Amino acid sequence: MRCEEISLPGSGPYGVTTGPDGALWVTLVHSGRIARVDGGEVDVFDVGDGPSVITAGPDGALWCTLLREHALGRVTTGGEVRKVALAPGCGPYGITAGPDGALWCTEMNTGRVARVTVDGAVTEFPLGVEDSYPSAIAAGADGALWLTLNQAGALARVTVDGQVECVFRCPRHRPRRSASRAGRTARCGARRSRRDSSRGVARTGGSRSSRCPTAPRGRTPSPPMGAAGAGSRSGARTAWATSTPTARSST
């Protein structure tokens, strides 16, 4: 296997996605910037405090969560930046473009999911699961939004009008003591979600972005805890990921 690395020293590359311009867009969580990577060329843009997960929006721009600023950042392919404020202290993390032409993001600290139009109108919906810590989110093939409830050990399905229809408890989950009540609230239904055949790779940020060829039928490793998430195009033979160098101590 051959890997190519693009160095981004001290910046903390975290989330990664493919933009509408064909370039890679990477959040740099430590430096508060977003990088556009096209081949070996890197351009960076200041976006805000704690850029985390990033996605291509329905308006042809890139959208990311600003975890420490409690806002969303919008960056055009030309580098123009705009912010959308969310509820104070909400802790936005996961973000995706929804089937309704809006952006959807999770709010880890408040147990809510937010719908944000491209014009900046914000509507927030409570999930009704205490201490659930909603994290990653994706648009499902069924026209709804699916998200992980990290501390409840569950998946939630949310319709585009904000209705929480089902919460599926993950098997063998043992919630932490602080989340035990959430674990009891998130009950399994009779149905189970069908296994998704899509593939993607992500690793948490340090100082590099890596490109590694992958086998078309190879297994995709599970992302480490805290990974920002990444998508892959159908039939793609190359995976991009951000990575953290291993710290070594001298003796």
pLDDT at 98: 98
- Does residue 236 fall inside a structural domain? no
Based on the fold, state whether residues 42 and 62 are members of the same structural domain: yes
Based on the fold, state whether residues 71 and 112 are members of the same structural domain: no
Based on the fold, state whether residues 48 and 117 are members of the same structural domain: no
Q: At 1, is the pLDDT very low, low, confident or very high (cuts 50, 70, 90)?
A: confident
Number of domains in the chain: 2
Question: What is this structure's pTM?
Answer: 0.72
- Does residue 95 fall inside a structural domain? yes
Sheet holding 41-46, edge to edge: 13-18, 24-28, 33-38, 41-46
Based on the fold, state whether residues 66 and 21 are members of the same structural domain: yes
Rounded CA separation 21/85 (Å):
26
**Domain containing residue 80:** 10-85
Based on the fold, state whether residues 73 and 18 are members of the same structural domain: yes
- Does residue 186 fall inside a structural domain? no
Based on the fold, state whether residues 74 and 93 are members of the same structural domain: no
- Does residue 199 fall inside a structural domain? no
Rounded CA separation 95/46 (Å):
19
Which of 68-77, 148-157, 186-195, 211-220 is predicted most confidently? Answer: 68-77
CB 37 within 8 A of CB 241: no
Task: Indicate the residue among 85, 100, 128 that finishes a domain.
Answer: 85
- Does residue 247 fall inside a structural domain? no
pLDDT at 22: 97
- Does residue 207 fall inside a structural domain? no
Q: At 250, is the pLDDT very low, low, confident or very high (cuts 50, 70, 90)?
A: very low
Based on the fold, state whether residues 59 and 127 are members of the same structural domain: no
Task: Indicate the residue among 148, 171, 194 that finishes a domain.
Answer: 171
* CA proximity to 191, closest of 169, 162, 164, 158: 169
- Does residue 151 fall inside a structural domain? yes
Which H or E run includes 182?
A: helix 180-185
Q: Three-class SS of residue 184? A: helix
Query: Is it the case that residue 40 has pLDDT exceeding 90?
Result: no
Q: What is the pLDDT of residues 43-63, one digit of tens each?
A: 999 999 999 999 999 999 999
Q: Mean per-residue pLDDT for 142-153?
A: 95
Based on the fold, state whether residues 17 and 68 are members of the same structural domain: yes
CB 57 within 8 A of CB 21: no
Based on the fold, state whether residues 46 and 117 are members of the same structural domain: no
Q: What is the pLDDT of residues 2-23, one digit of tens each?
A: 777 878 777 899 999 999 999 9
Residue that the structure tokens 């809006």 belong to: 102
Q: Mean per-residue pLDDT for 21-31?
A: 96
Query: Is it the case that residue 155 has pLDDT exceeding 80?
Result: yes
User: Any residues with CB less than 8 A from the CB of 189 and at least 6 apart, and which?
Assistant: 166, 167, 168
Task: Indicate the residue among 40, 63, 85 that finishes a domain.
Answer: 85
Q: What is the pLDDT of residues 76-90, one digit of tens each?
A: 999 999 999 999 999
pLDDT at 171: 75
Structure tokens at 129: 């699961």
Of 52 and 210, more confident? 52
Based on the fold, state whether residues 99 and 132 are members of the same structural domain: yes
Based on the fold, state whether residues 106 and 124 are members of the same structural domain: yes
pLDDT at 167: 81
CB 70 within 8 A of CB 87: yes
CATH number for the domain spanning 97: value is 2.40.10.500
Q: Mean per-residue pLDDT for 184-190?
A: 35
Based on the fold, state whether residues 131 and 156 are members of the same structural domain: yes
- Does residue 249 fall inside a structural domain? no
pLDDT at 166: 76
pLDDT at 180: 31
